[in-house]
Chains A and B, each alone.
Chain A
Amino acid sequence: MGDIVYLHRVAKRYPGGHDALSDVTLTLEQGEMAFLTGHSGAGKSTLLKLIALIERPTRGQVVINNQNISKVRRSQVARFRRNVGVIFQNFNLLNDRTVFDNVALPLVIRGETRDTIARRVRAALDTVGLLDKERQYPIVLSGGEQQRVGIARAIVAKPPLILADEPTGNLDPELSAEIMDLFQRFNEVGVSLLIATHDVELIRSLPYREIQLKGGHIADRAAAAPYETPQ
């Protein structure tokens, strides 16, 4: 199995001179789940944005799914993003559309048929336990439910990689644990996940690698590569 995410000596300087990342090298294996931790401003969001092609690196190589993103032209970005499911802290749902339509969006964009869309949206909603809410609007749902809609949207098109930026940042501990449960279940069926969080308490008990960022660097170099799997 290859790496699904490979960053080599990546730096990102924003216009105005702020260095969000400097010299970051890390890998995420196909089928691996890892946490990205660090204080706010440590560069977690920037790192995820580079992987989702929302930002471009100033220096270094970013290879996603064996594709060097410096080779991805602007017109190809949309197609590239379809291979990455992104989950946001503020959910980023369309409030004037039903839960069903929100989750269906990635499939509609791909031009799937109506039948396929209905089948896969219901499957995704079933996975996150919201099948009975498909006709409702996001605004009437609780925060935890809204985040699960966001997760259903991220997985509905079955991308090989899921990125989550503080997915539990707006949720209480109990709901956060539920969300982590969901992520573990996705990982069990082979999806790679990279989850940015500052909630160290939540992930301490979980058996996944933690990549700690500090001021734009990886704090613990050993954690930049996957754990050695015991022979």
Chain B
Amino acid sequence: MIAEYFKRHAQTLVFTLGRLYQRPVATALTTLVIGITLALPAGLHLMVSNVNSVGYSWEGSLTASLFLADSVDDKAGQMLASDIRSRESVRGTSYISRQQALEEFRALSGFGEALDLLDHNPLPAVVVVRFKTNQSPDAINATVRGLSELPGVVEAKLDHQWLDRLFAILATVQRAAMIIAALLAIAVILTVGNTIRLDIENRKDEIVIMKLVGASDAFVRRPFLYTGFWYGFLGGIAALILLGIAVALMAGPAGHLAALYQSSFVIRGLGFSSSLGLLGIGVALGWFGAAWTVARHLGAIVPR
């Protein structure tokens, strides 16, 4: 009995797909509209998460520079560096003595001759601190503040402000994406609802006949609900295809941009579970749109 029940539902599922197939142009248009509507917020989400991951990967390479007082000699400086290295949040440190700093500056800056005019070395010794990647910006900030108060440290600098701003912008965009997604979800429901309403209108005679031969409301409702299911499912597939195309189009320029920053960043698509999630959302919206329309319109169609 239960097996029969599922078989009947499976038959309706196949039957409604066949009916959609009989009207390929109308089905394709509706599918595309739903696909675009679903792809927009999904694309926005994808963009945000990609930029986020770029941000995090840069954050992993965050370093702080601790400028030491001239009174700290090389030995004390190296001790300080190894001291800091043993901290939990620190991945590594390196000590650059005043002499090394001078040589580096001479070699890299091209202003070496200008230094010769000075009678003493103006550069401070520096401890470069590299942080572990698994930390929030706040935690890193706190650590840096602590380091700046160590004896012998004149100043601690972390160039992170632009990252904070990036994350703030992303959070704003993410919130906007959620609002847009909510609005477009309503749009999907309305699209499916309207399509189903036309379908019901076209099948008025058929519905009357079915009711005349004893069809229950549930029986009459079922094919329309499955039609909604298919619109959502096919719309979801269309959205995934559109996103795939968009990612492929973006991959070239994004890779080029990343190369300019010596980054190995590769633009990422939705991934398997998110793709399933998008399909699931499409199906849920399609089903809901159909159920809502059917509840509003089917009851009014009775044999006369």
Residues of A whose CB lies within 8 Å of any CB of B are 52, 54, 75, 78-82, 86, 92-94, 105-106, 109-111, 113-114, 153
Contact at A78–B4, with CB atoms within 8 Å? no
Q: Closest residue to A88 on the B side, CB-wise?
A: B212
Q: Write 24 A-B pairs (CB below 8 A) sorted by A numbering.
A: A52-B212, A54-B212, A54-B302, A54-B303, A54-B304, A78-B214, A78-B215, A78-B219, A79-B216, A81-B211, A81-B213, A86-B212, A92-B205, A92-B209, A93-B209, A105-B209, A105-B210, A105-B213, A105-B215, A106-B213, A106-B214, A109-B210, A109-B216, A113-B4
Q: Closest residue to B304 on the A side, CB-wise?
A: A54
Chain B contacts for A110, CB-based, 8 A: 214
Interface residues of B in 186-244 (CB under 8 A from A): 205-206, 208-217, 219
Chain B contacts for A75, CB-based, 8 A: 217
Q: Tell me if B8 counts as interface (CB < 8 A to partner A).
A: yes
Q: Considering only CB atoms and an 8 Å cut-off, how many residues of chain B contact the other chain?
A: 20
Contact at B4–A111, with CB atoms within 8 Å? yes
Q: Known pairs A54-B302, A105-B209, A114-B7. 6 more at Cβ < 8 A?
A: A79-B214, A81-B214, A94-B206, A94-B209, A105-B215, A111-B8
Distance from A16 Cβ to chain B, minimum over Cβ atoms (Å): 14
Chain B contacts for A92, CB-based, 8 A: 205, 208-209, 212
**Count of chain A to chain B residue pairs whose CB atoms are closer than 8 Å in the complex:** 49
Chain B contacts for A86, CB-based, 8 A: 212-213
Distance from B155 Cβ to chain A, minimum over Cβ atoms (Å): 80
A114-B216 Cα distance, complex, nearest whole Å? 19
A80-B206 Cα distance, complex, nearest whole Å? 20
A110-B205 Cα distance, complex, nearest whole Å? 20
Distance from B267 Cβ to chain A, minimum over Cβ atoms (Å): 47
A110-B210 Cα distance, complex, nearest whole Å? 12
Distance from B185 Cβ to chain A, minimum over Cβ atoms (Å): 32
A57-B211 Cα distance, complex, nearest whole Å? 19
Contact string against A for B residues 287-304, beta-carbon threshold 8 Å, 1 for contact and 0 otherwise: 000000000000000111
Chain A contacts for B205, CB-based, 8 A: 92
The residue among B4, B5, B215 with the most chain A CB atoms within 10 A of its own CB is B215
Chain B contacts for A109, CB-based, 8 A: 210, 213-216, 219
A94-B208 Cα distance, complex, nearest whole Å? 10
Partner of B212, one of A80, A81, A111, A114: A81
Q: Closest residue to B208 on the A side, CB-wise?
A: A92
Chain B contacts for A113, CB-based, 8 A: 4
Chain A contacts for B208, CB-based, 8 A: 92
